[in-house]
């Protein structure tokens, strides 16, 4: 994804308009994209900065290409690349050793004379012999810990030039959403799929039924989240390609401008944006995946069901993350809270209260609890993962109480 620095957004008449390359006005960009893909496809062994310079040179005569657009292309190409890095810090050690040795011969000159006797070529050879490495290998390893000097090892690429340009358009949409205060999605055809992606991203959301088969999902945006704003912003942006892969939806986001007023970003499934997402795995959330794996298909008479049902109370809607169903017919619904604000937790408690005739267990992160907070009934507190022992104790307690009623 792009960074905020690579985002290009025009604010006009109360609307946020992210940069978009269109066939009608940017048809010639297809040739540029082909050239950029060739630079990276043929760039194995070259430094990141060298690749970026070659991409920049492609647009040297293009009047309609701001610097940020070039930087965005480089970022998207880098994202599909593997560069040689230096996780063990060998480069800094090598630099220290070489500079320490070379310092004894300062100053080095291209050609020795009576005043300056240490020529560069001879000293490099001496250092090469001392470290038992060819000088070109020393040079390649010198700055492998500096991002700009890292060398390209592999380029996964994009299917074609159109795919790169399409990815650019989506990436600019995503970057615009970093500034979102909230987002409202009206979902029709693919409501459950859209909600599933939102839950996997652990987005703060509220659902209202606005018709027999139409729902309005309101999301808190990164600009409204008090904690872990950056990580939430990344998850928020990653949700967008998932939304684009669905049908029957409209989205309106309130985006904060640099001048501290709000603008509207409005898109729908009719706007022609293409998602690069493949079909989703059954689970994408590490928390949920590890939990489901540990629980298994059946445990102590309980079966784990993913997104078993949609609950309605007039317009209010609640969709749990999991349903636990016992062989005796008892059902317990589990809602997992990831990101949070105090207001969101309070709102979630209100939702649980509204659906109190169902047996609902809510799992909340320990860091979301204020000091001295009282743990309510049917609340499971977790640190980083859901543990089975306390969970099984709670759902068994709920089942026992239900059986004795």
pLDDT digits (tens, 9 = 90+) for 284-294: 456 677 778 88
Q: Is the pLDDT reported for residue 243 higher than 50?
A: yes
pLDDT band, very low/low/confident/very high, at 2 (cuts 50, 70, 90): very high
**Higher per-residue pLDDT: 94 or 11:** 11
CB 161 within 8 A of CB 206: no
C-beta of residue 184 within 8 angstroms of C-beta of residue 216: yes
Give every CB contact of residue 194 below 8 A, 6+ residues apart in sequence. 185, 187, 217, 242, 243, 246, 249
d(CA 266, CA 373): 40
What does pTM read for this prediction? Answer: 0.78
Cα separation, 352 vs 337, in Å, equals: 13
For residue 385, give Cα distances in angstroms to 175, 283, 291, 373, 391: 30, 15, 7, 21, 11
Q: Which residues, 6+ apart, have CB-to-CB distance to 22 below 8 Å?
A: none
Question: What pLDDT is attached to residue 3?
Answer: 93
Q: For residue range 311-349, what is the model confidence (pLDDT) as tens digits?
A: 777 777 888 888 899 999 899 988 887 666 666 667 777
CATH for 286-404 is: 3.40.1350
The pLDDT value recorded for residue 372 is: 46
CA distance 175 to 4: 6
pLDDT score at 196: 81
Every domain of the chain and the residues it spans: 4-82+157-268, 90-149, 286-404
- The string of pLDDT tens digits covering residues 7-62 is 999 999 999 999 999 999 999 999 999 999 999 999 999 999 999 999 999 999 99
Highest mean pLDDT among 102-106, 158-162, 296-300, 358-362: 158-162
Token couple for 22: 């269109």
The pLDDT confidence band at residue 277, using thresholds 50, 70 and 90, is low
More confident: 70 or 295: 70
Q: Are 174 and 265 in contact, with CB atoms under 8 Å apart?
A: no
pLDDT in tens, 169-209: 999 999 999 988 899 999 987 888 888 888 878 788 888 98
Least confident of 95-99, 206-210, 297-301, 356-360: 356-360
Residue 364 or residue 7, greater confidence = 7
What backbone phi and psi angles, to 5 degrees, belong to 210? -110, 5
């Amino acid at each position: 994804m792009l960074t905020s620095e690579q985002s290009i957004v025009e604010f006009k008449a109360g609307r946020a308009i992210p940069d978009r390359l269109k066939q009608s006005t940017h048809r010639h960009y297809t040739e540029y994209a082909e050239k950029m893909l060739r630079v990276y496809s043929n760039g194995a062994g070259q430094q990141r900065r060298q690749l970026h310079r070659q991409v920049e040179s492609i647009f040297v005569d293009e009047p309609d290409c701001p610097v940020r657009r070039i930087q965005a292309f480089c970022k998207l190409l880098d994202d599909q690349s593997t560069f040689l890095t230096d996780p063990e810090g060998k480069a800094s050690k090598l630099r220290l050793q070489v500079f320490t040795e070379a310092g004894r011969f300062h100053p080095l000159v291209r050609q020795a004379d009576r005043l300056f006797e240490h020529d560069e070529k001879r000293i490099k050879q001496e250092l090469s012999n001392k470290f038992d490495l060819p000088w070109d290998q020393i040079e390649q390893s010198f700055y492998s810990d500096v991002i700009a000097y890292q060398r390209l090892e592999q380029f996964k690429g994009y299917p074609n030039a159109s795919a790169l340009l399409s990815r650019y358009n989506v990436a600019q949409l995503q970057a615009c959403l970093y500034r979102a205060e909230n987002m409202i999605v009206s979902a029709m055809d693919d409501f459950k799929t859209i909600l599933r992606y939102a839950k996997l991203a652990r987005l703060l959301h509220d659902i209202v039924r606005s018709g027999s088969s139409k729902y309005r999902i309101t999301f808190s945006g990164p600009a409204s989240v008090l904690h872990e704003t950056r990580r939430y912003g990344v998850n928020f942006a990653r949700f967008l390609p998932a939304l684009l892969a669905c049908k029957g939806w409209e989205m309106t986001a309130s985006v904060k401008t640099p001048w501290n007023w709000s603008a509207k970003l409005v898109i729908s499934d009719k706007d022609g944006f293409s998602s690069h997402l493949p079909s989703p795995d059954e689970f994408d959330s590490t928390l949920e995946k590890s939990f489901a794996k540990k629980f298994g298909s059946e445990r102590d008479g309980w079966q784990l069901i993913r997104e078993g049902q949609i609950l309605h109370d007039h317009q209010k809607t609640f969709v749990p993350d999991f349903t636990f169903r016992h062989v005796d017919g008892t059902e317990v619904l589990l809602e997992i809270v990831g990101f949070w604000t105090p207001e969101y937790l309070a709102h979630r408690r209100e939702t649980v209260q509204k659906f109190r005739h169902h047996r609902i267990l809510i799992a909340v992160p320990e860091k979301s609890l204020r000091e001295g907070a009282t743990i309510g009934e049917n609340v499971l507190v977790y640190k980083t993962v859901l543990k089975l022992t306390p969970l099984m104790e709670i759902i068994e307690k709920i089942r026992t109480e239900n059986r004795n009623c």
